[in-house]
Chains A and B, each alone.
Chain A
Amino acid sequence: MSPRREKLTSPQTRIALARGNRPAQHLLPIPEPVDTEAARRLFRAQRRTAARTVALLSVLLFGMSGAFAAFPVLGQIRAGGVPLSWLLLMVAAYPLLFALALWHVRSAERIEERAERERPGSGSGEQKR
């Protein structure tokens, strides 16, 4: 009875082979939130902020283009030789977009900070960082 030939591999190789061709599991497992109610409140607050920003963004974009269509006079008024509608589109739009994004980030961070502050008080026993 001849002994069965056995392939010798290092432990790392065996692990790698056993894992097959799958990528390393880098996605985080999804634990239940420590305090589901608090997490829900946070989620809703963030959703309100996001909705507000998206609404303002739509007003800015659709409103400005709608104004160009509704009031052709914007193309006749000139500021420094440039038609007002051109100035609005070519220059003024960008600072407005930047300000809107900045405001959103401020609001979102404030909501997060408040949630962090409230966390120890909710009785979960987690240490404040």
Chain B
Amino acid sequence: MISVLAIGLVVVTSLVIGVYGVRAARSTSDFLVASRRVSPTWNAMAIAGEYLSAASVLGLAGLVLKNGLGTMWYAVGFAAGYVAVVALVAGPMRRSGAFTVPDFAEYRLGAPRLRKLCGCVVLVIMLLYLVPQFKGAGVVLALVSGTPYWVGVLLAGLVVSGSIAAGGMRSATYVQAFHYVVKLVFLAVPAIYLVVHSSPHTRSEALTPERGTHFPEATPVEFTVGTRFSLDEPVTVTVPDGGEVELAAGEHIADAGTEYVFPEGATIPRPEGLPELGGERWSTPLLDVGGYPLFETWSALLAITLGCMGLPHVIMRFHTSPTARTARRVAVGVIALLGMFYLFPAVYGLLGRVLTPHLVLLQGTDTVAVVLPEQAVPGTVGAVLAALVAAGAFGAFLSTSSGLLLALAGGLSHDLFQGSVPRLRLAVAVGACVAVLLALPAQMTDINVLVVWAFTVAASTFSPLLVLGIWWRRLTLPGAASGLVVGTVTATGAVGWSMLLPTAGGWTSVLLAQPAAWTIPLAFATMMLVSRLTRPPDWAEHAVLRLHSP
């Protein structure tokens, strides 16, 4: 109940700030980039607030619990992405005067048709990124209020599109700055409280994963989906009618709806394909899902670090700075804000392994940050802490998805159909509808898997376009276009294949699930090779030099 109130409060406050900002939105320029009058501090906070999505607030903690500490590389990558932005794109992008990546493509290469192609890529990236946000909102609402998952998703869509369609980016700036504070405080305070108030035994167990992971108390586990898991030693579980069932060591399949009560001290069964909780593979700080830790870590780092600059909503934000110099400084501020935030998600994952390990069995690790406080601190305090995290998570969802929707609407109306403000508002509504529809069947997919997919596509398309467009005079229109097509097809196709179709296992499935290590070089190589074969226009050099003149 408290959680519902806290979420309601965050939503209402956001709407009030959003409606207050309506007065300022008059032209397309106002609507998209707040007429470039946003102060640097507000801007940095808004960027961080927009960037810290459900993947950071909910997904990271869940992944640490499920796949081990190596998943914190995602967080480092999210922050490192801004170093790449500072070094490679922030200043020059601002000087180009373009609103969106497609605008930049038109400035640099002078072709309206490329703009449409870019518009399509924006749509792909934004949808891949929006779906997990709606998923996050759905699971949080379902968890705290007991409503079905789809109600949460639908409600989330309504709130976001309403707030955006009313006020645009100007309101989004303040709403998102507010959300950064909400997220940081609402995640940090419960985390610090949990660390301080957990028993020394729990703390040492959280930091000493070698001891293995056991159920901390008799734990009822209700399987909502069919789950295949393996046991290292036999265990006797209780079923709801009071009987006892002996599960032998080895493979088991629990059908959806099965309910087992595991006794205190039993080893956590290991769902298929996951590392042993607290085992060697879990506690080594490298990403290890398919068995090739170093390759997976590097591929994911490449995808996230380069993907950040290719995310259309990130790039659009830099146009709210008055000059290139401020744009760069704002990006440095963002890194500080992100670093501060990312100290906390791991706390939930580490304590979650000790206190709520059954979430791994239920495939519900995305909820660990909300479930953990109630489990660790029984009573009112626990409920309040859980409410804080839930509200923070909902704030994360609201701010990221409003930024994403805006970029999506920008892509739809500004780049694909070239409209004015009313059309832009319609585009927001359309974008929200599509995202909600796609999020409905995604309940069981990990938030971070989808988010990293979006980063991979961005890193294989817009990142080479921007880097080469800004730093290489010889980029040509055919080169950029072919690179974009190759990048979109390979990155979208590889991850989609690994998610939807069966793979052979071993190297093939790792290369498909983490394709950034080959799709990014491939996209760069295509762009450079085709550009070498064609001639850039005479003014290409001026266009590049202008991007670097103060």
- Considering residues A36, A40, A108, A115, which has the most beta carbons from chain B within 10 angstroms of its beta carbon? A108
Q: Which residues of B lie under 8 Å from residue A54 when comparing CB positions?
A: 84, 87-88
Give the residue of B69, B80, B91, B97 whose beta carbon is less than 8 angstroms from that of A86.
Answer: B69
Give the residue of A46, A91, A94 whose beta carbon is less than 8 angstroms from that of B548.
Answer: A46
Shortest distance from the beta carbon of B119 to any chain A beta carbon, whole Å: 13
Residues from 40 to 62 in B contacting A, C-beta threshold 8 Å: none
Asked if B284 and A27 make an inter-chain contact with CB atoms under 8 angstroms apart, the answer reads no
Q: Which residues of A lie under 8 Å from residue B69 when comparing CB positions?
A: 86, 89-90
Q: A22-B418, A66-B294 are in contact. Are A27 and B548 (CB under 8 A)?
A: no
Asked if B106 and A98 make an inter-chain contact with CB atoms under 8 angstroms apart, the answer reads no
Interface extent on A, as a size class?
Answer: 35 or more
Asked if B99 and A26 make an inter-chain contact with CB atoms under 8 angstroms apart, the answer reads yes
A77 interface residue (CB < 8 Å to B): no
B543 interface residue (CB < 8 Å to A): yes
B526 interface residue (CB < 8 Å to A): no
Residues from 510 to 550 in B contacting A, C-beta threshold 8 Å: 539, 542-546, 548-550
Asked if B346 and A101 make an inter-chain contact with CB atoms under 8 angstroms apart, the answer reads no
- The segment from B157-165, B215-223, B325-333 found at the interface with A is B325-333
Residues from 138 to 193 in B contacting A, C-beta threshold 8 Å: none
Q: Which residues of A lie under 8 Å from residue B329 when comparing CB positions?
A: 105
Give the residue of B204, B338, B419 whose beta carbon is less than 8 angstroms from that of A94.
Answer: B338
Give the residue of A39, A57, A62, A86 whose beta carbon is less than 8 angstroms from that of B84.
Answer: A57
Asked if B207 and A23 make an inter-chain contact with CB atoms under 8 angstroms apart, the answer reads no
Residues from 1 to 42 in A contacting B, C-beta threshold 8 Å: 21-24, 26-28, 30-33, 36, 39-40, 42
B73 interface residue (CB < 8 Å to A): yes
Question: Number of residues in B with C-beta < 8 Å to the partner?
Answer: 62
Bound complex: CA of A65 vs CA of B296, how far in Å?
11
Shortest distance from the beta carbon of A80 to any chain B beta carbon, whole Å: 9
B7 interface residue (CB < 8 Å to A): no
Shortest distance from the beta carbon of A39 to any chain B beta carbon, whole Å: 4
- The segment from B236-244, B254-262, B297-305 found at the interface with A is B297-305
B471 interface residue (CB < 8 Å to A): yes
Shortest distance from the beta carbon of A94 to any chain B beta carbon, whole Å: 3
Asked if B286 and A65 make an inter-chain contact with CB atoms under 8 angstroms apart, the answer reads yes
Bound complex: CA of A91 vs CA of B72, how far in Å?
10
Shortest distance from the beta carbon of A67 to any chain B beta carbon, whole Å: 10
Q: Closest residue of chain B to A50, judged by CB?
A: B87
Asked if A50 and B285 make an inter-chain contact with CB atoms under 8 angstroms apart, the answer reads no
Asked if A105 and B545 make an inter-chain contact with CB atoms under 8 angstroms apart, the answer reads no
B63 interface residue (CB < 8 Å to A): no
Q: Which residues of A contact B (CB under 8 A)?
A: 21-24, 26-28, 30-33, 36, 39-40, 42-43, 46-47, 49-50, 53-54, 57, 60-62, 65-66, 68-69, 72, 75, 81-83, 85-86, 88-91, 93-95, 97-98, 100-102, 104-105, 108-109, 112, 115-116
**New A-B contacts (17) at CB < 8 Å, excluding given A50-B87, A85-B285:** A22-B418, A23-B28, A26-B99, A28-B107, A31-B546, A33-B546, A42-B548, A50-B471, A57-B80, A57-B83, A65-B297, A69-B293, A81-B203, A83-B283, A94-B76, A94-B339, A101-B332
Could you write out 21 A-B pairs with CB less than 8 Å apart? A23-B418, A27-B103, A28-B546, A30-B543, A32-B542, A42-B548, A50-B471, A53-B87, A61-B77, A61-B305, A62-B298, A68-B284, A72-B284, A81-B204, A86-B207, A94-B342, A98-B332, A100-B83, A101-B82, A102-B332, A112-B325
**When A and B form their complex, which 9 residue pairs have the shortest distance between CB atoms, in order from nearest?**
A94-B339, A53-B87, A39-B545, A112-B550, A101-B86, A93-B76, A89-B285, A65-B297, A101-B332
Q: Which residues of B contact A (CB under 8 A)?
A: 28-29, 69, 72-73, 76-77, 79-80, 82-84, 86-88, 91, 96-99, 103, 106-107, 203-204, 207, 283-286, 293-294, 297-298, 301, 305, 325, 328-329, 331-332, 335-336, 338-340, 342-343, 346, 414, 418-419, 471, 539, 542-546, 548-550
